[in-house]
A and B are shown apart, each in its own frame.
Chain A
């Protein structure tokens, strides 16, 4: 192997600096639900007829809420994808999705501000503001509360990642102690919701990044792919000019 390969291997293995992760665990009164565990589960009509399988959960990213609300779901039925709006959903359970009525064929449409969680966020990189670290999402957690279903947390742990390789019962488990509050996560958009690349919209939480020291910011930027690095750099530069 080349000396360049060794130098590169050592350099990469040293560059990733440790951050003292200050985990802000999710605090939510209501039931928590694993997105990774729910995807693939059966979808039933109001009368109990099986319609298809849950392909993805769609949330509204630009609602201004710290915890994006449920916008709808994508259902895989009859070899195609259909969009189900939140109003048509009776219940989102760990092992099934129940609709009020039947499935109306409605083709999914991409709109800015809408995010398909399994496709756009799961297994992609997010910026952990509290820990000043770039993590990869192992699971996302929905919360079912009085004001509906919302994206409330992210789990970036290796243990959860390994759990997803197990049987369905294990995949549906939520390890509350390892779930970050979604409000402490900065995600930023590259080309718009859902396109190639990593995760999405710049939220106000990104303002916390400016409180970091330059070494932490540099390390964080270094861990990101170029499109995200450039976007975050320009955002930080714009903010510092204001």
Chain B
């Protein structure tokens, strides 16, 4: 275990920093409800994530444009508007899950959600709009390092290694609507539409072009794999602690997974980690979404502007925060709400992936860097599979079986 941590440590730290409330609680829920049975699915999801993120990074590197701009240039205006509207809905759902995560974390630390969430809304909006949030983001990032306890806990819990290996390497699809819905949630929180837009834009922002792309590609692939390694540790640690007890209903239950690593401090540590991760994402997601949509529309998009100068940008940013906080404050189970928001993301994901796949297939966009035959087939299989799962959940919901 020590050797593993020593070798993969830095990468794991970086990958862990990518966890948000939706990710942590959905993976924990998977472990609690189905034990190790979702590990094989996570393996497949990792393959899909690698393919998708590689395409997004390649699009950014070879075109110098983000996905929002590319979609506008390559598709009809109505199709583009539809795609960006879906992105807004998906990211608003993510924002709901982040505020729900803030509420769940603070309740674990003894503060009511009805105080924590409104305060977080005001603080996040003020700090971001007035440009001082970057000072606080380091604090939030350090808080989220609490989740580094998951790999440690996963080992110290002494899970049934044979069972883990079996469920990791052989398909264990449970024939139930609950498994199907959780599968879509896992896809939605792992291959989230937000991350695809972010990956492309980050490559553009770093001014990575075709010449630098080969090394960036390795980073992208490594990042995707490592982030899913962390996700699997969350599933394993939770499964070892409370596997088979049914869906997760509280953050306190999820915290049980950290007991082997930190003992009675588990709830506090989990709460701190969840708070940090949720605070980070609750600012990043609405800000990036507002920027992507304003960029695609060609509108002003600067936090240095006033509301009057950049109404679309500020309007979208504020709308997402307010809607996110308002829905999170609605009565109901916060953890269930978080997982449901990931299901919504999972339903929207195949639509966004279709746009990405079409863009990456076009030689008019990528030239010789467009998808080759093998990659095209593999990526199409992924997108179609994700779409089929999403469609199945929609059908189940419509006939009232889910």
A-B contact pairs, 29 of them (CB 8 A): A1-B285, A2-B14, A3-B17, A3-B138, A3-B280, A6-B280, A8-B205, A9-B283, A10-B133, A10-B303, A12-B205, A12-B288, A12-B291, A14-B302, A15-B302, A16-B300, A16-B302, A18-B300, A123-B73, A123-B77, A137-B298, A156-B298, A158-B297, A196-B63, A196-B365, A197-B63, A224-B64, A225-B204, A226-B207
Quick check: A2 and B17 within 8 Å, CB to CB?
yes
Quick check: B133 and A6 within 8 Å, CB to CB?
yes
- Interface positions, chain B 265-291, Cβ under 8 Å from A, are 277, 280-281, 283-285, 287-288, 290-291
**A2 CB, min distance to chain B CBs, angstroms:** 5
Quick check: A136 and B287 within 8 Å, CB to CB?
no
Quick check: B134 and A6 within 8 Å, CB to CB?
yes
Q: How many residues of B contact A (CB 8 A)?
A: 55
B284 in complex: contacting residue of A1, A18, A36, CB < 8 Å:
A1
For B128, the chain A residues whose CB sits under 8 A away are 10
**Quick check: is A87 within 8 A (CB to CB) of the other chain?**
no
For A63, the chain B residues whose CB sits under 8 A away are none
| Chain B residue at smallest Cβ distance from A21 | B300
For B72, the chain A residues whose CB sits under 8 A away are 123, 136
Quick check: B298 and A16 within 8 Å, CB to CB?
no
14 more A-B residue pairs beyond the given contacts A2-B280, A13-B303, A17-B302, with a C-beta to C-beta distance below 8 A: A1-B18, A3-B141, A4-B17, A5-B288, A6-B134, A9-B283, A12-B201, A13-B291, A16-B300, A18-B300, A156-B298, A158-B297, A165-B81, A225-B64
**Quick check: is B54 within 8 A (CB to CB) of the other chain?**
no
Binary CB contact string for chain B from 108 to 144 against chain A (1 if under 8 A, 0 otherwise): 0000000000000000000010010110011011000
**A56 CB, min distance to chain B CBs, angstroms:** 13
A16 to B297, CA, bound (A): 14
Q: What 10 A-B pairs have minimum CB-CB distances, sorted nearest first?
A: A225-B64, A136-B298, A1-B281, A226-B64, A3-B141, A1-B284, A9-B287, A9-B288, A6-B284, A2-B17
A17 to B73, CA, bound (A): 23
| Chain B residue at smallest Cβ distance from A171 | B77
A14 in complex: contacting residue of B64, B141, B303, CB < 8 Å:
B303
**Quick check: is A50 within 8 A (CB to CB) of the other chain?**
no
| Chain A residue at smallest Cβ distance from B365 | A196
Binary CB contact string for chain B from 81 to 103 against chain A (1 if under 8 A, 0 otherwise): 10000000000000000000000
Quick check: B367 and A196 within 8 Å, CB to CB?
yes
For A196, the chain B residues whose CB sits under 8 A away are 63, 364-365, 367
Provided the pairs A6-B133, A10-B287, A226-B209 are in contact, do residues A165 and B301 lie with their beta carbons within 8 angstroms? Answer: no
Binary CB contact string for chain A from 102 to 124 against chain B (1 if under 8 A, 0 otherwise): 00000000000000000000011
For A79, the chain B residues whose CB sits under 8 A away are none
How many A residues touch the partner, as a band?
35 or more
Quick check: B65 and A135 within 8 Å, CB to CB?
no
**Quick check: is A164 within 8 A (CB to CB) of the other chain?**
yes
**Quick check: is A161 within 8 A (CB to CB) of the other chain?**
yes
**B216 CB, min distance to chain A CBs, angstroms:** 14
**Quick check: is B176 within 8 A (CB to CB) of the other chain?**
no
Quick check: A135 and B302 within 8 Å, CB to CB?
no
**Quick check: is B202 within 8 A (CB to CB) of the other chain?**
yes
| Chain B residue at smallest Cβ distance from A19 | B300
Quick check: A225 and B63 within 8 Å, CB to CB?
yes
**B282 CB, min distance to chain A CBs, angstroms:** 9
**Quick check: is A7 within 8 A (CB to CB) of the other chain?**
yes
**Quick check: is A11 within 8 A (CB to CB) of the other chain?**
yes
Of the candidate stretches B31-39, B45-53, B304-312, B387-395, the one touching chain A is B304-312
**Quick check: is A138 within 8 A (CB to CB) of the other chain?**
yes
Quick check: B78 and A7 within 8 Å, CB to CB?
no
Provided the pairs A196-B367, A226-B64, A226-B207 are in contact, do residues A8 and B298 lie with their beta carbons within 8 angstroms? Answer: no
A15 to B299, CA, bound (A): 14
Quick check: B202 and A138 within 8 Å, CB to CB?
no
**Quick check: is A145 within 8 A (CB to CB) of the other chain?**
no
**Quick check: is A48 within 8 A (CB to CB) of the other chain?**
no
For B202, the chain A residues whose CB sits under 8 A away are 4-5, 8
**Quick check: is B150 within 8 A (CB to CB) of the other chain?**
no
**Quick check: is B198 within 8 A (CB to CB) of the other chain?**
yes
A156 to B298, CA, bound (A): 7
Binary CB contact string for chain A from 23 to 65 against chain B (1 if under 8 A, 0 otherwise): 0000000000000100000000000000000000000000000
Quick check: B81 and A13 within 8 Å, CB to CB?
no
For A2, the chain B residues whose CB sits under 8 A away are 14, 17-18, 141, 280
Quick check: A7 and B73 within 8 Å, CB to CB?
no
| Chain B residue at smallest Cβ distance from A135 | B298
- Interface positions, chain A 204-242, Cβ under 8 Å from B, are 224-227, 229
**B27 CB, min distance to chain A CBs, angstroms:** 16
Quick check: A225 and B65 within 8 Å, CB to CB?
yes
B302 in complex: contacting residue of A8, A18, A165, A227, CB < 8 Å:
A18
Quick check: B312 and A158 within 8 Å, CB to CB?
yes
**Quick check: is B228 within 8 A (CB to CB) of the other chain?**
no
Interface centre among A2, A11, A18 (most CB of B within 10 A): A2
Quick check: A16 and B77 within 8 Å, CB to CB?
no
**A189 CB, min distance to chain B CBs, angstroms:** 16
For B81, the chain A residues whose CB sits under 8 A away are 165
Interface centre among B64, B301, B305 (most CB of A within 10 A): B64
